[in-house]
Amino acid sequence: MSKILILYYSFEGSTREIAESISKVLKSDLMEVKPVEELKSKGFSKFIWGGYQVVTGKKPELIPLSKNLDDYDTVFIGTPIWAGTYAPPIKSLIEDYIEGKKVAYFYCHEGGHKKAIEKAKQAIEKKNAFIGAKGFMNPKKNLELSSEEAKNWAKLVLTKTIDL
């Protein structure tokens, strides 16, 4: 089987939980993507500051990745939804790091995610093959169920074969 890496950004832990479940079931490597400068507030102002970053198209500098992406041909990319789309560190990742891969995309949200897949698909497809996507609504509310869903989806998505 091809070598798989699960990459994710998580501000408050939900996306991390899903990423860990996927990594466990696929027995694949896991790497957290972190911006050099993280959002400071966990209170309401996080929405203003985080939303501002998205709306103004900020692409934050990332802490150097601890894995060599050349070693993987399939990557799963996970993100919380911010202002209707992927979080800024994932924008940096998709636009500046991910090329020539098979990419599956997953995201955590609280209901405001209508265009979440389409936007990510377009961005990912510029340089990669998009192999699937799945959203998880408030996964911490029922972590066991979300984790099961994530595992089943991850196995399913890998059954698709795409030649780059």
Ligand X SMILES: Cc1cc2nc3c(=O)[nH]c(=O)nc-3n(C[C@H](O)[C@H](O)[C@H](O)COP(=O)(O)O)c2cc1C
Binding to ligand X (CB under 6 A) within 98-127 occurs at: 108-113
Kindly state whether residue 80 participates in binding ligand X, applying the rule CB under 6 A: yes
- Which of these segments, 23-31, 61-69, 79-87, 149-157, binds ligand X (CB under 6 A)? 79-87
Q: What is the DSSP letter of 65?
A: P
Nearest by Cα to 100 from 123, 71, 129: 129
Size of the site for ligand X (CB under 6 A): 21
Residue whose CB is less far from ligand X, 12 or 125:
12
Helix (H, G, I), strand (E, B) or coil at 33: coil
Binding to ligand X by CB under 6 A, coded x per residue (else -) over 29-58, reads -----------------xx--xx-------
Cβ-Cβ contacts under 8 Å for 24 (sequence gap 6 or more): 151
Chosen residue from 72, 82, 86, 105 binding ligand X by CB under 6 A: 82
Helix residue ranges, H only, the chain: 14-26, 45-55, 88-96, 116-125, 143-157
The single-letter code of the amino acid at 133 is: A
Q: 140, 17 in Cβ contact below 8 A? A: yes
Residue whose CB is less far from ligand X, 47 or 155:
47
* Site of interaction with ligand X (CB under 6 A): 10-15, 46-47, 50-51, 80-84, 108-113
